Amino acid sequence: MSASRWLVVGSILGGLAVGLGAFAAHGLDKVFVEKYSGQTRVVAGETVPLSKKFLDDFKTGAEYQMYHSLALLVVGLLAQRHHSWRLTAAGVSFTLGIVLFSGSLYILTLTGVTKWGMVTPLGGVAFLAGWSLLALDAAVGKESA
C-alpha cells in the first residue's frame, strides 16, 4: 500500500478513536449502568460493577486504537522515504490489531456477549507483530527494502 494510504487510514482510525472516546466519556456510562444494573465482575480480586468494567474496557479499546492509529501514521511517513514489505506488513498488522482488539472490546461491551473476549488477544498479537515488523524495518534500513 502507498505511503499516502497509510496516512489516510491512520488519520481516519485516529479520528474514530477520538469520537469513540468521547462517546464513552459522554453518555455511555449511563447506558452501561442501565444495561448492566446489579451485575458485577471480579477484577484483580476486587468485585466491581459490570458497568464500570465494561466502560473501562471500551475506553481501553479507544486508547489502543489511538496508539496504533499513530503507529499507522509512522508507517506512512516511513513509507514516504522507502518502500518495504516490512512496512506494509506492519501497517496491515496494526490495522488488523485495531479491528480485532479494539473492535472486539467495543462489541463485547455494547452487547454483553463475552465470547468476543476470545478475539481480543488475537488483536494483541497483531499489535505485537506490527511493532516487531516496524523495529525490523528500522534495524534493516533501506538497503534491503
pLDDT tens digits for range 95-131: 999 999 999 999 999 999 999 999 999 999 999 999 9
Q: Do residues 81 and 145 make contact, with C-beta atoms less than 8 angstroms apart? A: no
More confident residue, 1 or 91: 91
**Domain boundaries, position 111:** 3-140
Query: Does residue 117 belong to any structural domain of this protein?
Result: yes
Residue 34 lies in a domain: yes
The confidence score (pLDDT) of residue 141 equals 73
pTM of the model: 0.94
Give the CATH number, domain containing residue 7: 1.20.120
Does some domain include residue 145?
Answer: no
Q: Is the pLDDT of residue 60 over 60?
A: yes
pLDDT at 57 over 90: yes
Q: Is residue 107 part of a domain?
A: yes
118 grid coordinates:
476470545
3-state helix, strand, coil in the chain (%, to 5): 85, 5, 10
Number of domains in the chain: 1
Domain-located, residue 38: yes
